[in-house]
Structure 1
Amino acid sequence: MEIGLADTIGVGNPAQVASLVAKVRAAVPHIPVRVHFHNTRGTGLANVWAAIAAGAVTVDASIGGLGGCPFAPGAAGNVSTEDGGYMLERAGVRTGLELSALGSANHWLGEIMQRTLPGMVAKAPPFPKQA
Protein backbone atom coordinates (compact mmCIF):
# COMPACT_ATOMS: atom_id res chain seq x y z
CA MET A 1 0.00 0.00 0.00
CA GLU A 2 1.17 3.53 -0.70
CA ILE A 3 -0.22 7.03 -0.96
CA GLY A 4 0.15 8.62 -4.38
CA LEU A 5 0.23 12.40 -4.75
CA ALA A 6 0.02 13.77 -8.29
CA ASP A 7 0.34 17.18 -9.91
CA THR A 8 -1.00 16.14 -13.28
CA ILE A 9 -1.30 19.65 -14.69
CA GLY A 10 2.04 20.91 -13.38
CA VAL A 11 0.97 23.85 -11.21
CA GLY A 12 2.55 22.87 -7.89
CA ASN A 13 5.64 24.50 -6.47
CA PRO A 14 8.34 23.08 -4.18
CA ALA A 15 7.03 24.80 -1.04
CA GLN A 16 3.55 23.33 -1.58
CA VAL A 17 4.98 19.90 -2.34
CA ALA A 18 7.22 19.85 0.73
CA SER A 19 4.33 20.93 2.97
CA LEU A 20 1.89 18.37 1.58
CA VAL A 21 4.32 15.44 1.66
CA ALA A 22 5.40 16.32 5.21
CA LYS A 23 1.76 16.48 6.37
CA VAL A 24 0.94 13.12 4.80
CA ARG A 25 4.08 11.52 6.28
CA ALA A 26 3.21 12.90 9.73
CA ALA A 27 -0.39 11.67 9.51
CA VAL A 28 0.45 8.16 8.28
CA PRO A 29 4.18 7.58 8.80
CA HIS A 30 3.91 3.84 8.11
CA ILE A 31 2.57 4.30 4.56
CA PRO A 32 5.10 5.17 1.82
CA VAL A 33 4.44 8.22 -0.36
CA ARG A 34 4.78 8.18 -4.15
CA VAL A 35 4.75 11.40 -6.19
CA HIS A 36 3.95 12.22 -9.80
CA PHE A 37 4.84 15.55 -11.42
CA HIS A 38 4.48 17.12 -14.83
CA ASN A 39 6.94 19.77 -15.93
CA THR A 40 4.40 22.20 -17.42
CA ARG A 41 5.86 25.27 -15.71
CA GLY A 42 9.43 24.06 -15.29
CA THR A 43 9.11 23.10 -11.62
CA GLY A 44 9.02 19.32 -12.06
CA LEU A 45 12.57 18.58 -10.91
CA ALA A 46 12.40 21.06 -8.04
CA ASN A 47 9.18 19.39 -6.93
CA VAL A 48 10.86 15.97 -7.04
CA TRP A 49 13.65 17.30 -4.84
CA ALA A 50 11.19 18.85 -2.37
CA ALA A 51 9.14 15.64 -2.21
CA ILE A 52 12.17 13.41 -1.58
CA ALA A 53 13.49 15.81 1.07
CA ALA A 54 10.08 15.71 2.78
CA GLY A 55 9.95 11.91 2.83
CA ALA A 56 8.52 10.64 -0.45
CA VAL A 57 10.14 7.36 -1.47
CA THR A 58 8.95 6.77 -5.04
CA VAL A 59 8.80 9.12 -8.02
CA ASP A 60 6.83 8.46 -11.20
CA ALA A 61 8.82 9.55 -14.25
CA SER A 62 9.13 8.74 -17.95
CA ILE A 63 11.93 8.32 -20.45
CA GLY A 64 12.67 11.67 -22.04
CA GLY A 65 9.82 13.36 -20.17
CA LEU A 66 7.15 11.85 -22.39
CA GLY A 67 3.57 11.97 -21.24
CA GLY A 68 0.69 14.31 -20.88
CA CYS A 69 -2.90 14.10 -19.79
CA PRO A 70 -5.96 13.86 -22.01
CA PHE A 71 -7.95 15.69 -19.34
CA ALA A 72 -5.47 18.57 -19.08
CA PRO A 73 -4.87 20.01 -22.54
CA GLY A 74 -1.50 21.74 -22.74
CA ALA A 75 0.00 19.92 -19.75
CA ALA A 76 3.61 18.96 -20.37
CA GLY A 77 4.96 15.46 -20.04
CA ASN A 78 6.13 13.82 -16.87
CA VAL A 79 9.42 14.57 -15.22
CA SER A 80 12.13 12.87 -17.25
CA THR A 81 13.49 9.70 -15.61
CA GLU A 82 17.03 10.50 -16.69
CA ASP A 83 16.81 14.15 -15.54
CA GLY A 84 15.47 13.18 -12.12
CA GLY A 85 17.88 10.29 -11.79
CA TYR A 86 20.84 12.49 -12.70
CA MET A 87 19.82 15.18 -10.21
CA LEU A 88 19.34 12.71 -7.36
CA GLU A 89 22.47 10.63 -8.09
CA ARG A 90 24.67 13.74 -8.32
CA ALA A 91 23.28 14.85 -4.96
CA GLY A 92 24.22 11.51 -3.38
CA VAL A 93 20.75 9.93 -3.42
CA ARG A 94 21.06 6.36 -4.68
CA THR A 95 18.32 5.60 -7.19
CA GLY A 96 19.38 2.27 -8.62
CA LEU A 97 19.06 3.75 -12.11
CA GLU A 98 21.66 3.13 -14.80
CA LEU A 99 21.88 6.63 -16.23
CA SER A 100 23.86 5.72 -19.34
CA ALA A 101 21.25 3.11 -20.26
CA LEU A 102 18.49 5.68 -19.77
CA GLY A 103 20.30 8.07 -22.11
CA SER A 104 20.56 5.33 -24.73
CA ALA A 105 16.86 4.53 -24.30
CA ASN A 106 16.05 8.23 -24.73
CA HIS A 107 17.92 8.42 -28.04
CA TRP A 108 16.43 5.12 -29.27
CA LEU A 109 12.88 6.21 -28.43
CA GLY A 110 13.44 9.61 -30.04
CA GLU A 111 14.55 7.89 -33.25
CA ILE A 112 11.47 5.68 -33.29
CA MET A 113 9.19 8.65 -32.63
CA GLN A 114 11.16 10.80 -35.08
CA ARG A 115 11.42 13.69 -32.65
CA THR A 116 13.63 15.06 -29.91
CA LEU A 117 12.25 14.20 -26.48
CA PRO A 118 11.76 16.96 -23.89
CA GLY A 119 14.22 15.64 -21.27
CA MET A 120 17.45 17.62 -20.88
CA VAL A 121 20.18 15.25 -19.65
CA ALA A 122 20.26 13.14 -22.81
CA LYS A 123 20.86 16.32 -24.86
CA ALA A 124 23.78 17.50 -22.73
CA PRO A 125 27.42 16.76 -23.52
CA PRO A 126 29.13 14.21 -21.26
CA PHE A 127 29.74 15.57 -17.80
CA PRO A 128 33.33 15.49 -16.51
CA LYS A 129 33.97 12.71 -14.02
CA GLN A 130 34.33 13.78 -10.41
CA ALA A 131 37.80 13.50 -8.93
Structure 2
Amino acid sequence: MKNTKTTTAKSKKSMRKAFCSYYAVFMLAFVSMCIGSIIALSPNAPLSHIHAYTQLQLYAKSMYEMQILCLQSFDYTRCQHQEFSPHSHYHIQSQLTPFGDSLLLLDVSAQVHNPITSMRQNVLNRHIILKR
Protein backbone atom coordinates (compact mmCIF):
# COMPACT_ATOMS: atom_id res chain seq x y z
CA MET A 1 0.00 0.00 0.00
CA LYS A 2 2.79 2.33 0.89
CA ASN A 3 4.39 1.84 -2.52
CA THR A 4 1.26 2.92 -4.40
CA LYS A 5 0.96 6.08 -2.33
CA THR A 6 4.57 7.07 -2.98
CA THR A 7 4.30 6.32 -6.70
CA THR A 8 1.10 8.39 -7.02
CA ALA A 9 2.71 11.22 -5.05
CA LYS A 10 5.78 11.05 -7.32
CA SER A 11 3.63 11.02 -10.45
CA LYS A 12 1.64 14.03 -9.16
CA LYS A 13 4.88 15.90 -8.51
CA SER A 14 6.21 15.09 -11.98
CA MET A 15 2.86 16.13 -13.52
CA ARG A 16 3.03 19.41 -11.60
CA LYS A 17 6.61 20.00 -12.80
CA ALA A 18 5.62 19.24 -16.39
CA PHE A 19 2.64 21.58 -16.16
CA CYS A 20 4.86 24.33 -14.74
CA SER A 21 7.36 23.83 -17.56
CA TYR A 22 4.68 24.00 -20.25
CA TYR A 23 3.13 27.02 -18.57
CA ALA A 24 6.50 28.79 -18.41
CA VAL A 25 7.22 28.10 -22.10
CA PHE A 26 3.72 29.29 -23.07
CA MET A 27 4.08 32.49 -21.03
CA LEU A 28 7.53 33.18 -22.48
CA ALA A 29 6.22 32.78 -26.03
CA PHE A 30 3.15 34.93 -25.29
CA VAL A 31 5.18 37.74 -23.71
CA SER A 32 7.74 37.76 -26.53
CA MET A 33 4.97 37.91 -29.16
CA CYS A 34 3.27 40.78 -27.31
CA ILE A 35 6.49 42.73 -26.99
CA GLY A 36 7.31 42.15 -30.65
CA SER A 37 3.93 43.41 -31.79
CA ILE A 38 4.13 46.43 -29.48
CA ILE A 39 7.53 47.36 -30.87
CA ALA A 40 6.57 46.82 -34.50
CA LEU A 41 3.06 48.24 -34.56
CA SER A 42 2.88 51.00 -32.00
CA PRO A 43 4.52 54.39 -31.76
CA ASN A 44 6.78 52.91 -29.08
CA ALA A 45 9.43 52.35 -31.74
CA PRO A 46 10.57 55.95 -32.16
CA LEU A 47 14.26 55.15 -32.04
CA SER A 48 14.15 53.35 -35.37
CA HIS A 49 12.24 56.25 -36.91
CA ILE A 50 14.63 58.82 -35.46
CA HIS A 51 17.63 56.83 -36.68
CA ALA A 52 16.18 56.41 -40.18
CA TYR A 53 15.20 60.09 -40.44
CA THR A 54 18.60 61.28 -39.23
CA GLN A 55 20.36 58.94 -41.64
CA LEU A 56 18.15 60.17 -44.50
CA GLN A 57 18.99 63.79 -43.64
CA LEU A 58 22.71 62.97 -43.69
CA TYR A 59 22.45 61.18 -47.04
CA ALA A 60 20.44 64.09 -48.49
CA LYS A 61 23.12 66.54 -47.34
CA SER A 62 25.82 64.32 -48.85
CA MET A 63 23.93 64.22 -52.14
CA TYR A 64 23.66 68.04 -52.11
CA GLU A 65 27.41 68.35 -51.56
CA MET A 66 28.13 65.78 -54.29
CA GLN A 67 25.94 67.74 -56.74
CA ILE A 68 27.77 70.98 -55.92
CA LEU A 69 31.11 69.26 -56.54
CA CYS A 70 29.77 67.73 -59.74
CA LEU A 71 28.63 71.14 -61.01
CA GLN A 72 32.02 72.63 -60.18
CA SER A 73 33.85 69.85 -62.02
CA PHE A 74 31.51 69.05 -64.93
CA ASP A 75 28.70 70.61 -66.92
CA TYR A 76 24.96 70.71 -66.24
CA THR A 77 24.00 67.83 -68.55
CA ARG A 78 26.37 65.40 -66.88
CA CYS A 79 25.13 66.31 -63.37
CA GLN A 80 21.43 66.58 -64.17
CA HIS A 81 20.37 63.31 -62.54
CA GLN A 82 22.30 61.43 -59.85
CA GLU A 83 21.27 58.53 -57.64
CA PHE A 84 22.84 55.99 -55.31
CA SER A 85 21.87 53.33 -52.80
CA PRO A 86 24.43 53.07 -50.00
CA HIS A 87 22.57 50.23 -48.23
CA SER A 88 19.90 47.78 -49.27
CA HIS A 89 17.03 49.78 -47.75
CA TYR A 90 18.18 53.32 -48.65
CA HIS A 91 17.72 55.07 -52.00
CA ILE A 92 18.86 58.65 -52.67
CA GLN A 93 18.41 60.60 -55.89
CA SER A 94 18.74 64.17 -57.11
CA GLN A 95 17.44 66.13 -60.06
CA LEU A 96 18.70 69.46 -61.42
CA THR A 97 16.16 71.68 -63.17
CA PRO A 98 17.04 74.98 -64.90
CA PHE A 99 15.02 77.92 -63.57
CA GLY A 100 15.66 81.04 -65.55
CA ASP A 101 19.05 82.00 -66.91
CA SER A 102 21.06 82.07 -63.71
CA LEU A 103 19.27 79.66 -61.37
CA LEU A 104 19.12 75.90 -60.93
CA LEU A 105 16.70 73.99 -58.72
CA LEU A 106 18.21 70.97 -57.01
CA ASP A 107 15.66 68.47 -55.72
CA VAL A 108 17.09 65.83 -53.41
CA SER A 109 14.92 62.86 -52.48
CA ALA A 110 15.87 60.14 -50.01
CA GLN A 111 13.77 57.11 -49.08
CA VAL A 112 14.19 54.21 -46.70
CA HIS A 113 12.11 51.14 -46.05
CA ASN A 114 12.30 50.79 -42.26
CA PRO A 115 12.94 47.09 -41.51
CA ILE A 116 11.47 47.27 -37.99
CA THR A 117 8.15 48.93 -38.70
CA SER A 118 7.85 48.14 -42.45
CA MET A 119 7.05 51.80 -43.11
CA ARG A 120 8.59 53.92 -45.86
CA GLN A 121 10.14 57.19 -44.74
CA ASN A 122 10.96 60.04 -47.13
CA VAL A 123 13.01 63.21 -47.02
CA LEU A 124 12.59 65.79 -49.76
CA ASN A 125 14.83 68.87 -49.99
CA ARG A 126 14.82 71.65 -52.59
CA HIS A 127 17.83 73.91 -53.01
CA ILE A 128 18.32 76.96 -55.22
CA ILE A 129 21.73 77.15 -56.86
CA LEU A 130 23.14 80.18 -58.66
CA LYS A 131 24.97 79.51 -61.94
CA ARG A 132 28.41 81.05 -62.27
In which range does the TM-score fall when normalised by the shorter chain? Answer: under 0.3
- Give TM-score scaled by structure 1 length: 0.23
Report the TM-score, using the length of structure 2 for normalisation: 0.23
| More contact order relative to length (CA 8 Å, sep ≥ 6) | 1
Of Structure 1 and Structure 2, which has the larger fraction of its residues in strand? Answer: 2
